[in-house]
Chain A
Amino acid sequence: MKELGAISSELRAISPTLRVLSPGIKATVQDQGRQGIRHHGLARGGVLDLRSAAWANKLLDNERNAACVEIVLGGFQAEALSACEVSVTGARADVTVNGKPVGMWQSLQLAPGDKLAIGHSRNHRLIYLAVRGGFKTREWFGSHSVVEREALEGAGPLQAGDLLPAGSHEPIQGAPRIAPPQAWQWLEQSPVLGLIPGYQHHQFRSADLRRLVTSQYQVSDDSDRMGYRLAGSPMADPPPGIVSEGIIPGAVQIPGDGQPIALLADCQTIGGYPKPGVIASLDCGLLAQQLPGSEITFEWTDTLTAQNRRRLFERQYQQTVWSENGRSPHWR
């Protein structure tokens, strides 16, 4: 058995809570990502689907930024080494404890020796596993997020045998919680992604911009935490490259072949491809949840609309309180 990275001495006092039996195709520890480091060439990192991860934490009274395990396509199994509470959100999959089916989007109690198994996701890509108190794995630059492509010492995907400590072993008060429908309903919607026009917008031909919002794009196999390549009707005449400038997750780049690349959490910090716009942050999660071969469309939105949608989400999230039976949370 190996510990996940070098866990600091104060955290060593916390006994490990879960042992990974199988990580599935890929699973990494992620929180909301890093801050104040991108000028060193370090990526932001962080959860790809902020809503599913936030609700996984909410179900356990965790901090908004607590670290979860982001599981790609399911197939993840773990054993509880001590009593703990967990939640599983995101892409729908069969979840069992000791072989017995349990629900997603709710809090689950695990006793020592319990085996949690998350099956393969069906219609979407990303599943989030949270634990009460958050996963207290090693931090890099003030964040638990693992950015695999940077190849930092100890920062890789989870492997069988890895031990995951939790921040709290105190049970939540009251009955098990069940997330309200607004926590997951958006995931079932057809993926129409709000695109905020960028300042280079006018350098694109109007026919190419129309094509961007009227054609369907397929999520290609060449899609990872850095970005998703989209395949569809290519832009006929994208503008030439620009002097490299800072770029953010959500930016849509158009390389010479005219096929868009949507950048995501682990993207590079600077880039020189022209960009017609940036995908709204909530819709980045919706895109990230799409399987290869899924079709997405873009529609124009604007900065303030995107900001207001994001704030509405945060407001609903912060103001959701759990009633005593855990089943009818309401929005104050």
Chain B
Amino acid sequence: MIQAVGEDALLISFGDAIDSALPGQIAALCQRIEALELPWLVDLVPSYTTLLVIYDPVAVNVFEARARLRPLIDSQPETIGPATNAQQGRLIELPVYYSQETGPDLAWMAEHTGLSSQQIIERHTAETYQVYAIGFAPGFGFMGQVDPSIACPRKDTPRTQVPAGSVGIANRQTAVYPKASPGGWQLIGRCPTQLFDEVNLSLLRVGDKVRFVAIGKDEFLAQGGQL
């Protein structure tokens, strides 16, 4: 379904509910649109269930833009069933130093979930996550789904300063803060990998898959992690 948004965007919807099959499909459509090198294309913003296509309204009107995109959507590969290889995305491993000193909410989460810190870490690293959206801040990837047993609500009062690299959980989502910023997610560890820089931009893309790998303090520091 394609709908006009304001005077310079079209929103393509892939479904109503969050579904791990959608990011791959959305990323594949992004690639197909980019391949056309449309001179009026300004930006593509994929998110959980949608792709926002931003165009130059002086170069094309809403009918032309929609007509150009329609055939791509109609010929999308089967939307039900297993993803094709092209839709699989990359698998990215992110090292995390899980500890009380880098994960100040581990103790609270243990109390909240009735699990030990070690069990929380094991469940967080057991899952392969899907990158559903990039937003909030440059390079901030919203990933899911976190195992229900370690899903925790956001903090009632957000922290004014979350250190760069902090790994957090909010309900069934997890993310790494690319930069120090205010934030309300429950922090369980810290990742030494740069998630955003001005040359390579965001490390994560919608459609990528991510696994977290537990590392020790020495390795965290050796990889450039900051305490």
Interface string of B4-30 (1 = CB under 8 A from A): 111111010000111000000000001
Q: Tell me if B62 and A244 are in contact (CB < 8 A).
A: no
Interface string of B40-56 (1 = CB under 8 A from A): 00111111111110100
Q: Tell me if A244 and B135 are in contact (CB < 8 A).
A: yes
Q: Tell me if B48 and A245 are in contact (CB < 8 A).
A: yes
Which listed residue, A41, A246, A310, A314, touches B51 by the CB 8 Å rule? A246
**Interface flag for A192 (CB, 8 Å):** no
Q: How far apart are the CA atoms of A247 and B51 in the complex, in Å? A: 10
Which listed residue, B54, B58, B61, B134, touches A41 by the CB 8 Å rule? B134
Q: Tell me if B8 and A248 are in contact (CB < 8 A).
A: yes
Q: How far apart are the CA atoms of A247 and B8 in the complex, in Å? A: 11
Q: Tell me if B133 and A40 are in contact (CB < 8 A).
A: no
Residue of A nearest to B44 (CB): A39
**Interface flag for B124 (CB, 8 Å):** no
Q: Tell me if A38 and B54 are in contact (CB < 8 A).
A: yes
**Interface flag for B104 (CB, 8 Å):** no
Q: Which residues of B contact A279 (CB under 8 A)?
A: 6
Q: Which residues of B contact A304 (CB under 8 A)?
A: 61-62
Query: Which of B6, B17, B42, B134 is packed against the most chain A CB atoms within 10 Å?
Result: B6
**Interface flag for B103 (CB, 8 Å):** no
Interface string of B128-143 (1 = CB under 8 A from A): 0000011111111010
**Interface flag for B88 (CB, 8 Å):** no
Query: Which of B5, B61, B62 is packed against the most chain A CB atoms within 10 Å?
Result: B5
**Interface flag for B77 (CB, 8 Å):** no
**Interface flag for B209 (CB, 8 Å):** no
Q: Which residues of A contact B42 (CB under 8 A)?
A: 35-36
Q: Which residues of A contact B58 (CB under 8 A)?
A: 310-311, 314
**Interface flag for A307 (CB, 8 Å):** yes
Q: What's the A-B contact tally at a CB cutoff of 8 Å?
A: 137
Contact of A41 with B202 at beta-carbon distance under 8 Å, contacts A196-B6, A246-B50 already known: yes
Interface string of A21-45 (1 = CB under 8 A from B): 0000000000000011111111010
Contact of A199 with B17 at beta-carbon distance under 8 Å, contacts A37-B43, A41-B202, A250-B6 already known: no
Interface string of B189-202 (1 = CB under 8 A from A): 00000001010011
Residue of B nearest to A275 (CB): B5
Q: How far apart are the CA atoms of A303 and B4 in the complex, in Å? A: 8
**Interface flag for A280 (CB, 8 Å):** yes
Which listed residue, B9, B43, B46, B133, touches A36 by the CB 8 Å rule? B43
Residue of A nearest to B2 (CB): A199
Query: Which of B18, B61, B138, B196 is packed against the most chain A CB atoms within 10 Å?
Result: B138
**Interface flag for B57 (CB, 8 Å):** yes
Q: Tell me if B134 and A306 are in contact (CB < 8 A).
A: no
Q: Which residues of A contact B179 (CB under 8 A)?
A: 151
**Interface flag for A198 (CB, 8 Å):** yes
**Interface flag for A13 (CB, 8 Å):** no
Q: How far apart are the CA atoms of A204 and B142 in the complex, in Å? A: 28
**Interface flag for A107 (CB, 8 Å):** no
Q: Tell me if A41 and B49 are in contact (CB < 8 A).
A: no
B208: min CB distance to chain A, Å: 12
Q: How far apart are the CA atoms of A269 and B51 in the complex, in Å? A: 12
Smallest CB-CB A-B distances: 4 pairs: A246-B52, A278-B6, A246-B45, A270-B135
A to B CB contacts below 8 Å, 14 in the list? A36-B42, A40-B138, A41-B137, A244-B135, A245-B47, A247-B52, A248-B8, A248-B54, A251-B6, A268-B136, A278-B9, A280-B7, A310-B57, A314-B58
Known: A150-B138, A281-B7, A303-B4. 12 other contacts (CB 8 A): A39-B30, A39-B205, A153-B198, A196-B4, A199-B3, A243-B17, A245-B47, A248-B8, A250-B7, A281-B8, A306-B57, A307-B7
Q: Which A residues lie at the B interface, using CB under 8 A?
A: 35-42, 44, 140-141, 150-153, 196, 198-199, 243-248, 250-251, 268-271, 277-281, 303-304, 306-307, 310-311, 314
